[in-house]
């Protein structure tokens, strides 16, 4: 009985077509046929990459602004969440409103569905890395903030952050009235695929703006790399479901999803509720 050969395609193993063989199996063929077979097999496993003359950040980020974003994830002790929210709502708006700090609080939330007892904060630094450094230095001299950080540390189980740039084709995240729920969809991409992701989503975003649900799109620079975050706003969970289903009825959306899914290693969705002092309500 002839051996069944498995070939990889799209990450799956499938039986080889009748008459097809992998290299190394004995078969009498012409040299021309063998060369064509080797070329076809290489195309399955070797990704062709165009040479780039610039960093991904320069190719994908907005040129007209030099803003840097910081995304913070704080996992709070369950019994401390109310106290944590209280001190955040007392201190964070003061930094946001103080003109001596070149930063703004874009939004602050609690995760509703996803990782529980979690706070998420998104900051914008107008002026990039120099602005970030200036804010950090000034906050070290701010005694109220130093006390806030000490009290906060006693309430946390863990925390992490990322520094992000904004995709050039996404909306600028601006304050909006509520009530809304927010979805943060986070994608861990395969290394080397950020340009492909940006090219596809530069077209895909037009399918997702009819209901003004697109808030912001970002990609990581420091922290966990090859991370993409898309931030969406909806009136409620049913509205989210309706808007997402409607996208599948638009010609071209299914093709863009088809080509972007293979670029993803992991993905996560958080449904978040804004705190009362969040500019994104």
Q: Is the pLDDT of residue 56 over 70?
A: no
Q: Count other Cβ atoms within 10 Å, centred on residue 71.
A: 23
Q: Which domains does the chain have, with CATH numbers?
A: 66-274 (3.30.70.100)
Inter-CA distances, 152 with 38, 77, 147, 175, 264, Å? 60, 11, 8, 26, 34
Residues 6+ apart with CB under 8 A from 12: none
- Write down the mean pLDDT value for the chain: 84
Q: Is the pLDDT of residue 7 over 60?
A: no
Q: What is the pLDDT of residues 220-279, one digit of tens each?
A: 999 999 999 999 999 999 999 999 999 999 999 999 999 999 999 999 999 999 999 999
What whole-number distance in Å separates Cα of residue 167 and Cα of residue 171?
9
Q: Is the pLDDT of residue 37 over 60?
A: no
Task: Name the β-bridge partners of 228.
Answer: 187, 219
Q: Count other Cβ atoms within 10 Å, centred on residue 119.
A: 23
Q: Which one, of 56, 34, 186, 61, lies nearest residue 111 by Cα?
A: 186
Query: What is the value of pTM for the model shown?
Result: 0.79
Q: Which run of H or E residues covers position 94?
A: helix 81-97
pLDDT interval class at 210 (50, 70, 90): confident
């Amino acid at each position: 009985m002839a051996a069944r050969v498995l070939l990889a395609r799209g990450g799956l193993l499938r039986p080889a077509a009748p008459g097809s063989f992998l290299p190394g199996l004995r078969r009498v063929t012409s040299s021309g046929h063998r060369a064509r077979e080797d070329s076809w097999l290489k195309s399955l496993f070797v990704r062709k990459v165009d040479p780039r003359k610039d960093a991904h950040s320069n190719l994908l980020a907005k040129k007209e602004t030099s803003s840097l974003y910081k995304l913070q994830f704080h996992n709070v002790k369950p019994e401390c969440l109310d106290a944590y929210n209280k001190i955040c709502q007392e201190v964070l708006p003061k930094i946001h409103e103080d003109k001596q700090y070149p930063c703004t609080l874009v939004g602050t939330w609690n995760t509703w569905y996803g990782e529980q007892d979690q706070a998420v904060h998104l900051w914008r630094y107008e002026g990039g890395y120099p602005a970030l450094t200036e804010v950090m230095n000034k906050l070290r001299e701010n005694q109220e903030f130093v006390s806030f950080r000490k009290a906060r540390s006693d309430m946390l189980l863990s925390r992490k952050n990322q520094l992000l740039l904004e995709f050039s084709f996404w909306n600028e995240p601006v304050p909006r009235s509520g009530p809304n729920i927010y979805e943060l969809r986070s994608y861990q991409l395969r290394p080397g695929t950020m340009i492909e992701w940006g090219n596809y989503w530069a077209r895909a975003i037009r399918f997702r703006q009819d209901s003004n649900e697109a808030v912001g799109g970002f990609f990581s620079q420091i922290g966990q790399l090859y991370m993409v975050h898309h931030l969406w706003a909806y009136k409620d969970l049913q509205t989210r479901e309706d808007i997402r289903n409607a996208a599948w009825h638009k010609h071209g959306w299914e093709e863009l999803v088809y080509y972007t899914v293979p670029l993803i290693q992991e993905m996560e969705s958080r449904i978040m509720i804004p705190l009362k002092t969040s500019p994104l309500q």
